[in-house]
Chains A and B, each alone.
Chain A
Amino acid sequence: KQEVTQIPAALSVPEGENLVLNCSFTDSAIYNLQWFRQDPGKGLTSLLLIQSSQREQTSGRLNASLDKSSGRSTLYIAASQPGDSATYLCAVGGLQGGSEKLVFGKGMKLTVNP
């Protein structure tokens, strides 16, 4: 059974810092890995999707890497801003019943202080 872990559960940093968010998973037989952002009481916003054959993806100030063999992914946020404050969720995509199933980590609550 796939298990996804995100450590730490919460992080508070001053504005401008470069951040690394970590995600680890137990079963390396994944199809993809997706990073999401969730604001309080809201839905999930997809940030980056990395296919199992890829090593990294970039979008603006965000860069995500994937190392399947070691069961790890990192989300790098450059020059953090107060607007980046949210919960960040890592989700690993696998196959079940012919359909895709995402297994989520518990998330990391990020607070960027002005």
Chain B
Amino acid sequence: DTEVTQTPKHLVMGMTNKKSLKCEQHMGHRAMYWYKQKAKKPPELMFVYSYEKLSINESVPSRFSPECPNSSLLNLHLHALQPEDSALYLCASSLAGEITGELFFGEGSRLTVL
């Protein structure tokens, strides 16, 4: 099973809403990632968790709050977002501790902020 599952596939929210994106993998990977991708642009790294600890935060605004409750799950909590935060949010995972590990991506959650 080389699958990374993201829910929901589509999310529409207002600027005052609180919502969460979820990501799950059962490949035994211990590194999990959130990327943001705007239309016709490459993915940009937001956060990396390694062994359930936050190891990289690419200076992401605090209205995005990541959480890694266990080695299989990764959440991204959203609050007070702006319309410019509308994008495809991609989750990925890899074998932590192996810098040469292959990243596997989910299908993404398409977020629209009204």
Contact of A31 among B92, B100, B105 (CB under 8 A): B100
Q: How many residues of B contact A (CB 8 A)?
A: 28
Residue A63, interface by CB 8 Å: no
Contact of B90 among A44, A100, A107 (CB under 8 A): A44
In the assembled complex, the Cα of A104 lies from the Cα of B92 at a distance in Å of: 14
Q: How many residues of A contact B (CB 8 A)?
A: 28
Residue A81, interface by CB 8 Å: no
Q: Are A43 and B108 in contact (CB under 8 A)?
A: yes
In the assembled complex, the Cα of A44 lies from the Cα of B88 at a distance in Å of: 11
What sequence of 0s and 1s flags, for each residue 37-49 of chain A, a beta carbon within 8 Å of any chain B beta carbon?
Answer: 0000111111001
> Chain B: residues with CB nearer than 8 A to chain A?
4, 6, 31, 41-45, 48, 50, 55-56, 88, 90, 92, 94, 96, 99-108, 110
> Chain A: residues with CB nearer than 8 A to chain B?
31-32, 34, 36, 41-46, 49, 51-52, 89, 91, 93, 95-102, 104-107
